[in-house]
Structures are given as structure tokens and as C-alpha cells.
Structure 1
């Protein structure tokens, strides 16, 4: 979406915020928050555009996903979750869909999102509006939930039940780097591999699969591309960073399975999908 079109849609939505809005049951602060059933967490499972599922967050957790993604827009001082500005709904705030439910789950789980496990949940937050101002409001909101969040104080990381990682508009990087105390981390790019940015700042390296590789799962994986994939994961892991690719094929079938198998074999840390059940079945079948 063009920036001017996005701003026009955001401005139109801002006027609606003052009106009466029917809040869906899953977003109400007083609605019951079902705990996910006791399921083994899947460390490679990442729910791309998680908020598009019928029960944001809860559907992913019920399948064992340990990473979920939410796109946010800053509108009239509030952080709204949507994929496009034309889809904004004042009831669908970051707090209502993610921060409040996670806080309730962590309290009920005695410090963990996952019953019987203490693996942190990665909350990947993609900034769709200007990065510096959007991050400033996000930091203000995250501070209220700091008891459950991972944090970085003067370069020292303390892991919590939930680890926010900031992606999207890159203008957020400078204000984040200037902070002595952060409750969020930065989503790096391939250019950050081997850069001075430490894993305490950028623990995740993300890239568009189709801008780096031509293979989409059909036929043999070219040897040069397999070597490049393993070079990327090896370099990231040597610096304590994790790797994620977006834009990988997501249509069920042999091509997707073949590509997912190569990602696992190369040590890619997060596999992107909109098909929660499909990836959960794939990972559990492979132990």
C-alpha cells in the first residue's frame, strides 16, 4: 500500500475511535482467557500474521507455536492490529489481542505461557506506521507488562515468559539502540550478520526467502543455494542469533514439505506459516 493511501486510511480510522464499537468477546478484558491445552511447545513454529486466525494467539498456542506475529498501526495514540490500514478495527488493539491475554496466561502458568514448560514465547511485532513514533508508544505500553517480558538492561539480557521482537519500519532501530533499558529486541536482516550489533540487541535475523533463493521446493535443491542457506544459519548461530525466512511456499503439498525439510536440516530456527495445523503436524511427525 502506498504511504499516502495508508495515512489516509489511518486518518479515517482515527475518527472512528471515539465512537461506540462492539468489542468481540475474545478482546474484552473481562472475558475468560482459556489456557492452551497441555501441548509440547514446537520451537521452530512461527505463526505468520497470527491475528488473522479465528482466535488470535490462542489458536497458535493450542498447536504448540512458540512464536507469533502481529502487525501494528499507531492510530490516535493506540496500537491497532491489522495487516492493512483499510482493515483497522478500534477493538483489535495489541493489548486486547496479545498483551492482556499473555499476562493472564503467564499468571495462571506461574511464570510461563506454556503449561509445564518454561520456553519463552516470541512476540514478533511488525511496525506498519513510522517506526520511531510507533515504537515510542509500544515501549510505553510494554513497560506496563515488564514483569512477564524479557528485557535488556545496559546490554545484559534477562529472559522472561514473553520476548517481544520489533520488525517492520526500520526507523525504530536508532531509538532502540539508544535505550539503556529495553523490553523488546530488534529483528535484524542479512546485512546484520557479522555486524557489530550483538545478539542482546538483534537476536533474530529475518529475510525474504524469494529475494535470496530461487528454489521453491520443486526438484532438487541447488547445491549452491543449500550451501548459502547453511552459511547463513552457521554465521547467525555463531553470534547467538536465530534465523527466520518469510515468503516461503505455504500451500500444502510435496514442494512445501521439501522446503520445510531443508529449513530444518540447515538449522533454521523459525518456520513461517499461516497453516497452524499443517506445520504442527509436520514438526511432530519429525520428532
Structure 2
């Protein structure tokens, strides 16, 4: 039986790591058995040299170190971007706070104080007319105190939550009412269309009776400072309120009924009239438009108290003058064409200027209806253009924006400060 010599220990393996009992056991085992037995350290894993194992351990160590460095770098970048985002959020929040604080302060500064006059009190307590007639308000001697009258026309006034009084409280001297004669010809209903007319909303209950009460009470109250009958504005008692009445159905049938309802006001000398030679101004001026028959306006030459709304494009026609007409009106699109790209062309501006001048030379008040309401910037530019060129009456739907705000400041910091239009 042949014997084989066990392989030598690796050079770097220290002898002290082997127990003497292990050596003796292995030696006796070699002599007793032909099977080659190797030490435990020799069978660890695949057959590799100790140099290769050391290299692998070194590479693993380097890989772990590189991974740790990458993790550290990623964490540093995350912290950096979190700080950047936090800074941006902080300054963004601070900017927003400052922005809205300034806008809020500007709104508070520009927003006119709420009115406290008798008219404003009526607006806050008003109720729809009923079978008993017009709303019965309590008279206050500060009825129109601190209200400055303005040449603005409350377009389709009956659509407002408070007809008549809301426009007067804003200072508008022009008011519009559309009327329909009922089938039995006994009443004049106020409505934009016949289908929406209501029997309690009449020309008398919404306009004529309230105006009569205002004039009769005002001229015997402590608010009156003149011996003659005066208008309803304390700031300028000589201003005449213009009631524009739009005849919606048969004008010739409406005419006698309207004369009948206006007669009590004419008897009290509250109406502007033409006596055959001169126009005598009263605290209320009645103007007919729509289907108002011009021939009936002209027929009474000595006691004419309904005036005509002349067509502004035909203002050069000699039949229209101050003895029979008061307004000279036109729909804006029909006067200058459509406004393209929210900007008026030079030719459109020149047309407006020439029409306003022509009406003024005749002594009539020019008025453009159906003016742009949106966008706000275009609306305000049109208002500026008309006002700067002396339009006789500014036709408005938004009373608050037209009378209480400075149009230069309607849009500030990207916000519309003038409400809805």
C-alpha cells in the first residue's frame, strides 16, 4: 500500500493556527486509510488561491466604499434641493401675502364708502309693488345728501333689483323703462318682453308714482332750499331727471294712455315742456324712443312735454331740434361697425367724435347704447373715449363701476377691482 504526503500549508498560514491534536489525528488517519484527507481550511468554497480570494475581498471592499460614497452624494443632493424648494416656497408664500395685502389695501382705499342717504335706505328696504301700488317708503330729509348727479343713463333700469332708486342713489340722471299697452288699453306694463310682463309692474307703480311722491315731498320738506319746484338732488337742484320711455308695441295706441298718466305731473309743472317758443326745463324730462311716433310728438306745438329720441346717424336732418327732441341715440355697432380685436380703429374713433359734435351743435344729448360690456378693459376704453369727447349721456349697465370707481384703477395687479360687468 502506497502512502501520499499531505500538501504543504500555504505560506501565509501560521502554524500556531493548527492544534497539535489535529496534526496527530491527521497523521494517524493518513497511515490508517488510503483516502486522502485534507484539513478543513482546504475545503472552504471553490478551489481558489488565497491571492484571488484576497483580491475579491479587496474589490468587494472597494465596491462597498463606492456605493457608500454614491449614497452620501445622493443624500447631499436631496438635502440641497429640499432646501432650494423650501426657500422658493417660503418666498412664494411671502410674495403672495404681500401681493394680496397690497391689493386688499388698494381696494379698501379706492372703494367708496357705502351711502347713508335716504335714497340708499330705500334701496336697502325696497319691495316689489303689489296690488296696493308702489312701494311706500318713509321720507327722510337726507333723501339725496352727498349724491353727485352724473350724466349716465341706467339702461333697462327695470331689470335692476331696485328700479329707479338704485340709479338715483348712484347719481345717474337718466333712467329707461320699456312699456307695453295691455290688450284692454287700460294699463302700461313695464317689461323687456310681453311674455315677461307682470300686472303689478306698471309705469305708474315703478316710476311715475314714486317720482311724484319724491317731488311733492321734497319741495315741502326742509331739504328744499328754493321757492320754486326743484329737482331731487341736493348737490344740484336744477338737474332734470330724464325718463326714457321705450314704446314696445303700437306707438299710436300707447300715446293717449301715456299722455293721460303724465297729465298730473304736467299740471304740477314737474315736466320739461315746449310752450311754442321756448323749452322750459322741469325736474323731470320725458323722452320717447322705440316705436314712439314722431308725428304725434310734433303735433302739440304749445304744450309739448314728450320729446323724441332722434337717430344720431341722421342728426343732420333739420327736422330734429331742441323743440321736439332731447336725445340723439344709436346702437354702437350700427354707428361704427364691429370692434375687432378689442380695439377701435382710427376711423371708428373719428366717426364717434363727429357724431357727438354734431349732436352737441344741435343742442341734443348724444347717446350710444349696446356698448361693449366685456372685456372690462375694452368697456373702460369705450367709456373713456365717449366721456373725453363729451358724449351727452353715458349709457351704462354696471352702475357701480360707472359711478363709484376710478376707471384708471379698475384693473390693478392683474385683478379686476370693479366687480362683475
For the criterion TM > 0.5, the same-fold answer is: yes
1:54 to 144, 152, 161: 161
Q: Which residue of 1 aligns with 2:331?
A: 208
Q: Give the aligned partner of residue 188 of structure 2.
A: 79
1:158 Cα deviation after fit:
0.8
Q: In the alignment, is residue 150 of structure 1 matched against residue 269 of structure 2?
A: no
Question: For the Cα contact (< 8 Å) 1:29–1:96, is it kept in 2?
Answer: yes
Partner of 2:242: 122
Q: 2:176 aligns with which of 69, 74, 87?
A: 69
Match of 1:223 in 2: 346
Distance (whole Å) between structure 1 residues aligned to residue 247 and residue 132 of structure 2: 21
Instruction: Extract unaligned runs of 5+ from structure 1.
Output: 1-21
Cα distance, 1:156 vs structure 2: 2.1
> Structure 2 residue aligned with 1:24, among 100, 106, 129?
129
Contact 2:130 2:200 in 1 (8 A): no
**Using a 3 Å threshold, how does the CA distance of structure 1 residues 83 and 283 change in structure 2: closer, same or farther?**
farther
Q: CA RMSD in A?
A: 2.4
Say whether 1:161 aligns with 2:283. yes
Query: What pairs with 1:257-276 in structure 2 (closer than 5 Å)?
Result: 257-276=380-399
Q: 2:260 aligns with which of 140, 143, 157?
A: 140
SS in 2 for 1:228: helix
TM-score, normalising length from structure 2? 0.58
State the match for 2:295 in structure 1: 174
SS of residue matched to 1:237: helix
Per-residue deviation, residues 214-246 of structure 1 (Å, max 9, x unmatched): 354855431211111111111111111110011
Q: Relative to 1, partners in 2 of residues 1:24 and 1:220: Cα closer, same or farther, differing over 3 Å?
A: closer
Kept in 2, the 8 Å contact 1:186–1:203? The answer is yes
Q: Deviations over 1:119-175 (max 9, x none)?
A: 1011000000111111221112111111211111224211000101000104x2111
CA distance in 2, matches of 1:56, 1:26: 18
Structure 2 SS opposite 1:90: coil
**How far apart are the structure 1 equivalents of 2:174 and 2:254?**
21
The structure carrying a bigger strand percent of its residues is 1
Distance 1:121 1:264 in 2: 19
Aligned to 1:244: 367
Structure showing the higher helix proportion among its residues: 2
SS in structure 2 of the partner of residue 187 of structure 1: strand
Question: Do the aligned partners of residues 263 and 217 (structure 1) sit closer, same or farther apart at CA in structure 2, a change above 3 Å counting?
Answer: farther
How has the CA–CA distance of structure 1 residues 25 and 88 changed in structure 2, closer, same or farther, with 3 Å as cutoff? closer
- Deviating runs (4+, > 6 A) in structure 1? 283-286
TM-score using structure 1 length: 0.84
Asked if structure 1 preserves the Cα contact closer than 8 Å seen for 2:131 and 2:200, the reply is no
Indicate if the aligned counterparts of 2:128 and 2:135 stay in contact, CA closer than 8 A: no
Q: Secondary structure at the match of 2:367?
A: strand
* Distance in 1 between residues matched to 2:265 and 2:329, nearest whole Å: 26
Contact 1:33 1:101 survives alignment (8 Å) = no
Structure 2 Cα separation of the partners of residues 152 and 27 of structure 1: 35
